[in-house]
Structure 1
Amino acid sequence: MSYRILEPLPVDPANPVAILGDLEDAIAGRRSFLPIPAKDRPRAQQLRDSQKAGQPIDTEIALVMATSGSTGTPKGAQLTPGNLVSSADATHQYLGGEGQWLLAMPAHHIAGMQVLIRALIAGVEPLALDLSEGFQVPDFATAAEELKTTGDRVYTSLTPLQLIKAMDSLEGIDALRLFDAILVGGAPTSRPTL
């Protein structure tokens, strides 16, 4: 078994697509990363410590994705390039094909990271919301309209709370209707919401 250093990968909520080059390296098997929030120093340090950033890791690992830690110390899912590509391919197959992606959730969490990975696998640059001030429906609506002009299939991934927030206004509902599919996860979604 060979090793390399697990590198922390700060993800800026204002510009998460800045890490796409690093993700290409991870998918190609050249580097191993631990995505961390760039603007939340205590959380970033907690993840560095609990996931052993800066320490050797098996070269087969592309990403270590930390759990929320809501039940204690965050756990790290060690994902290989094959895991990431297979997941993206399976999602695209289920959705009926590749398309354009809108990143509307933090990319240091697995659901947000998967949006970036799917876009890379599809060969498109995702559009990303600036989440510095949280999820804002007007920004989401503007981005959805921009994506729809590409003529491609358009997808996004939301948490249940984001979905509810978008459904709370006509602007948000109109934006949701522009997507060919919306993945919802990160927490349970009530049946009435769906």
Structure 2
Amino acid sequence: MSTTLRSLHLPRGADPLALLDPLAAALSGGPAVVASPDPRVLATVTEAADRAGLPAGTAAIVSTSGSTGTPKRTLLPASALRASADATRAVLGGAGQWLLALPGHYVAGLQVLSRSVFDGTRPVVVPDNAPFDGTAFRAAVARMSGPRRYASMVPAQLALLVDGAPGRPVDATERAADLEALRGLDTILLGGARADETLLHRVRDAGVRVVTTYGMSETCGGCVYDGVPLPGVRAEIADDVIRLGGPVVAGGYLGDPELTAAAFSEHDGVRWFTTSDTGTLDAAGLTVTGRADDVINTGGLKVSATVLARTIEELPGVRNAFVTGLPDPVWGQRVAAWVAGTVPAETIRAHVADRLGGRLAPKVLRRGTRLPMLPTGKPDRQRMIEDLTAEAASTTTAPRAEREA
């Protein structure tokens, strides 16, 4: 007998609130929903569920973003989604109405919908039939009625509201109106990508309550708020890698027992997920320092790609940066950077050389008005690595490569 699943996908421009009923049914023990940007995935996931079996209590199957490679199909129990919603409600100060500004088939959008189901509220939608902008955002916020008003956003959306679209003149009146709308929200959960500290300070100084979140599909989205784990969630560091435990942890990966065994474990009655991120944990909370696989080794000199990216982002005029190591026949790896901003390449290289040494200055450099992004609002790491690899290959004699996108 074929497993009964339902697709949590709508074509662009359709009303995402149509997803509430199938999700509510799944959370109440009905057919699980398959959350994916591609409606064809329903058939392949159903085939995988028929082969491997679907664990009891599974409410949603979420495809990870694919920002670092092939997407994985994460099994989210209804109990984990409920635990996440309950903990979020407790930390934020009570149930409220949510703004849906992200696709409902990704974990952050799914969480907006599931929290609404659990809290008995109805979210207000920022239409997706046009690119996200301040006009649509302000109109959506104006339709919210409370009693408390929340939003979940990615840093790229917040930056657009505060600074305007890259490459376009700043409209001071619109920016002021966007800030006023942001202040009208009780809390904005900001996650999905690393947030620029300067942007956070500016927004918070303007009276906007922004809470940074850390988590992933495997933890029902954000489960650490401003460095502090949600109630019931535990964080620990093992061999410099972050591990997250508690009732919000997923049930594993559909049809991939080896990958499940490598990433998930259970001991002392707590289910744990081992992330791909490095970090530190102290009295101030959890700090993500980079990815376990982002250490660049160039001629025996090792440095975190995240540290390099943050160094580049210190420069005025740089919106954000992505750094990776590319293979080099002499040095092992060479530093490559994709930079969003207007800063000249030589200024970027000189700044990195001054702060960290000349060997760590980007040898391959690509610039543009913005980083390539996935539909989730996360930087598209795979796309940028491919771009930089092609850039390096196209320059076989010059020691430095650069192109503007």
Distance 1:13 1:93 in 2: 33
Pair 1:114-2:107 in alignment: no
Distance 1:74 1:48 in 2: 14
For 1:22, the equivalent position in structure 2 comes to: 22
Match of 1:154 among 144, 149, 153: 149
Pair 1:75-2:81 in alignment: no
Contact map agreement 1:11 1:35 (CA 8 A) in 2: no
Structure ranking higher in strand proportion: 2
SS of the residue aligned with 1:189? coil
Distance 1:151 1:58 in 2: 36
The 5 Å alignment of 1:5-154 reads: 5-14=4-13, 15-37=15-37, 43-45=38-40, 47-48=41-42, 52-54=45-47, 55-56=49-50, 57-147=54-144, 150-154=145-149
Distance 2:84 2:131 in 1: 27
Name which one, 1 or 2, has greater alpha-carbon Rg: 2
Distance 2:107 2:146 in 1: 27
Seq. identity, %: 36
For 1:185, the equivalent position in structure 2 comes to: 191
For 1:40, the equivalent position in structure 2 comes to: none
TM-superposed CA distance for 1:172, in Å, is 1.4
Distance 2:114 2:161 in 1: 24
Distance 2:177 2:73 in 1: 37
Contact map agreement 1:26 1:32 (CA 8 A) in 2: yes
TM-superposed CA distance for 1:6, in Å, is 3.5
SS of the residue aligned with 1:192? helix
SS of the residue aligned with 2:150? strand
Stretches (4+) displaced over 6 A: none
Q: Deviations over 1:119-141 (max 9, x none)?
A: 11110111111112221211111
Structure ranking higher in helix proportion: 1
Match of 2:182 among 161, 176, 180: 176
Distance 1:159 1:100 in 2: 18
Comparing both chains, which one has the higher relative contact order based on Cα–Cα distances under 8 Å and sequence gaps of 6 or more?
1
Q: Give me the TM-score of the superposition, normalised by structure 1.
A: 0.87
1:125–1:151 Cα change, 3 Å: closer
Structure 1 unaligned blocks of 5 or more? 38-42
Contact map agreement 2:8 2:104 (CA 8 A) in 1: no
Distance 1:138 1:31 in 2: 37
Number of matched residues? 183
Q: Deviations over 1:2-40 (max 9, x none)?
A: x93343332344311101110111100111111123xxx
Q: Give me the TM-score of the superposition, normalised by structure 2.
A: 0.43
